[in-house]
Amino acid sequence: MSITCTELTFAYADRRVLSGVDLVAPPGARVGLVGENGSGKSTLLRLLAGAERPESGRIQVPADTGYYAQDSGLDPAADVATVLREALAPLHDAVAGLEVLAERLADDEAAASDYADLLEWATRHDAWGADRRAEVAAHRLGLAAIPGDRWVAELSGGQRSRLALAALLTRRPEAFLLDEPTNHLDDDGLDFLQTELTEQTGAVLVASHDRVFLDAVCTGIVDLDPPHFGTDGRGGRAFTGNYSDYLHAKRTSRRRWEEEFEAQQDELNQLRATARTSESDIAHDRPARDNDKYIYGFKGQRVQATVSRRRKNAEQRIALLERERIPKPPAVIQFSGAFERQPIASVLLREVQVPDRLRCDRLDVGRGEHLLVTGANGSGKSTLLGVIAGRMTPTEGTVAVRAREVGLLAQEVGIRDLSRSPAELYDAARARTPLSSLGLLHPRDHSRPVGELSLGQQRRVELALLLARQPDLLLLDEPTNHLSLALVDELEEALLASPVTVIVASHDRWIRRRWAGSQATLR
């Protein structure tokens, strides 16, 4: 069964998020959702999952649809073993039910039909391999070392997310709705997720900022911010192909939009000039001579008729173009944040240990250096940044940080006052440059309460508040999480061009392939 929606419309308060969205993801298709932060990707997934109700439109999804949310959605009061046991319960129940029905086959004809239906379901879900899949998923997603009696509330945000993903992949629903499933995965986890999804026979709809993942997994792309001519060149949102194919098509469509807008504007300007033309512009008001007054009058009438006809034709054409007006292509939101301070910041670590979290024998980051820190989940990347920022004290070792201002962008969005607007928070930070100059948020979102913004938009607000402090030591923990694909590219270029000292902890494979600074790997 396909995942479908027709003419789907939804609004938060007075802000429309989705308007007339049509989407089809048939069995076997793996469709990526893309668009700017706030375009409605997470909202659309919640609507399809039944977590929100649309204002209008139709939704149809398989009864057995698995939904992965960015906040994991797990019960904090449950333990790890319970989460996995509940995920496996339908599969274990199916195997047990087959055994009961098998004993009734000889005496109960109705049992044969029930047995056949349940056998087909259990085979499709590979119910007999569920326990093995759970072990493999736990190992590949970095959960094997977590005790089964550990409470969900005691897990880190990344561990909770990976636990929810392991439970969902083990259950093998008939369709998947996934909201940023790659955020907390290392290379092994990403490879595992990609393999699992490409082997699914049901429909997969996934919102992700991971360009490598979208390239490897998706058979189609749906853009919730399509250009005027659409991603397909015909006004539609859907594109068949992977992310690289889609990106090429989108750029081509954008160029066509810009060219046709300029051509239409040129034609309108010429038509308006024609519509303003008078007889004097042609005849120049030359007075008639005595011997050609008749001819002058006759020609004057012809001039008037010609001018009148041209004006009328121009006005009719203008009216037609105004009805079919091509909108001006919106300016692309561009990150233009500048780091003004000259670098003095440096970092030195020797034999640093945080029990069960981090062991770093040596780390030297020089003035103005750009360092990318990589490593498997659990290797201590976030802990390392916390130690450097002074938010965590190691039990052993030496930490020497020299900086005027240290700025840390944590992995999890942490804005406490969600009732204030980005503009209010930014003004309170006494920034020297206006919020609009950073290009991080659309002007319409400057005055909205932060709690009404998407996670990606909140991430942009946090980045703006960080820039307002003008740190000369910038610590970024998975900075690409929740950000739109366009902004990620611009942020990366700005960081590499920055004069300040930068330490980035990231699993983003695209960044690692393009990083021009130093790299360090935690083990």
131-135, 180-184, 289-293: lowest mean pLDDT where? 289-293
Confidence (pLDDT) at 470: 85
| Top-confidence residue, 457 or 109 | 457
Confidence (pLDDT) at 503: 94
Residue 366 has pLDDT above 70, yes or no: yes
Is 303 in contact with 279 (CB distance < 8 Å)?
yes
Residue 317 has pLDDT above 80, yes or no: yes
Confidence (pLDDT) at 72: 81
Residue 281 has pLDDT above 60, yes or no: no
| Top-confidence residue, 5 or 280 | 5
- Residue type (1 letter), 233: G
Candidates 166, 141, 179; CA nearest to 378 is: 141
Residue 494 has pLDDT above 90, yes or no: no
CB neighbours of 392 closer than 8 A, spacing ≥ 6?
Answer: 354, 383, 386
Confidence (pLDDT) at 93: 92
Under the banding of pLDDT at 50, 70 and 90, the label for residue 363 is: very high
Confidence (pLDDT) at 225: 79
Q: Residues 144-183: pLDDT tens digits?
A: 888 888 998 888 888 899 999 999 999 899 999 999 998 8
C-alpha–C-alpha distance, residues 464 and 169, integer Å: 36
Under the banding of pLDDT at 50, 70 and 90, the label for residue 232 is: low
CB neighbours of 239 closer than 8 A, spacing ≥ 6?
Answer: 220, 221, 222, 223, 231, 232, 245, 246, 249, 250
Segment 132-148 shows an average pLDDT of 89
Q: What percent of the chain has pLDDT over 90?
A: 37
Tokens of 376: 């498997």
Statement: the pTM of the whole predicted model exceeds 0.75: no
- Residue type (1 letter), 308: S
Q: Residues 236-262: pLDDT tens digits?
A: 788 888 888 888 888 888 888 888 889
| Top-confidence residue, 312 or 206 | 206
Under the banding of pLDDT at 50, 70 and 90, the label for residue 456 is: confident
How much is the mean pLDDT over the chain?
Answer: 85
C-alpha–C-alpha distance, residues 210 and 71, integer Å: 18
Residue 202 has pLDDT above 80, yes or no: yes
Is 169 in contact with 133 (CB distance < 8 Å)?
yes
280-294, 332-346, 422-436: lowest mean pLDDT where? 280-294
Confidence (pLDDT) at 46: 94
Q: E strand or H helix at 352, and its extent?
A: strand 346-354
Confidence (pLDDT) at 237: 80
Confidence (pLDDT) at 155: 87
| Top-confidence residue, 333 or 345 | 345
| Top-confidence residue, 211 or 295 | 211
Candidates 194, 129, 139, 132; CA nearest to 162 is: 139
Confidence (pLDDT) at 442: 82
Confidence (pLDDT) at 273: 86
CB neighbours of 428 closer than 8 A, spacing ≥ 6?
Answer: none
| Top-confidence residue, 107 or 202 | 202
Q: Residues 84-102: pLDDT tens digits?
A: 899 899 999 999 999 888 8
> Would you say the C-alpha torsion 131, 132, 135, 137 has a positive or negative sign?
negative
Confidence (pLDDT) at 294: 54
420-424, 441-445, 448-452: lowest mean pLDDT where? 441-445
Candidates 418, 494, 501; CA nearest to 454 is: 418
Segment 444-473 shows an average pLDDT of 88
Q: Please name the residue that has the structure tokens 């259950």.
A: 171
Segment 443-464 shows an average pLDDT of 88
Go through 225-235 and write b for each residue having 16 or more CB atoms within 10 A of its CB, e for each that does not: bbbbbbbbeee
3-state SS, residue 11: strand
Candidates 368, 377, 373; CA nearest to 387 is: 373
Confidence (pLDDT) at 332: 62
Other beta carbons within 10 Å of 246 = 24
Segment 263-273 shows an average pLDDT of 89
According to the per-residue pLDDT averaged within each range, which of 65-79, 96-110, 320-334 is highest? 65-79
